[in-house]
Amino acid sequence: MENFIEDTLNQLIEEAKKIKPIDDFEKGKLFGYYFSISYILSQAVSFGVIDKLSENLREFNPESLLNETTD
């Protein structure tokens, strides 16, 4: 199960990092990725599987995805 969660999170993060928030639509997509990644990480904590994920994911800060959206 942890591999599924880790693979999914890695894919979502990779896709989110490719988004260039140049307009409101792209910013909306990025916020969707941010919410999804944050939610999955939160659930991993709640279900006690966060320690089974890689260190990169345990230390990943989803807010870092939103740095480029601030004006």
**pLDDT digits 0-9 by tens, 6-46:** 999 999 999 999 999 999 999 999 999 999 999 999 999 99
Q: What's the structural domain count of the chain?
A: 1
Query: Residue 67: pLDDT band by 50, 70, 90 thresholds?
Result: confident
Neighbours of 16 (CB within 10 A): 20
pTM equals 0.89
- 3 HSE (CA, 13 A, CB side): 0
Range of the domain at 32: 2-69
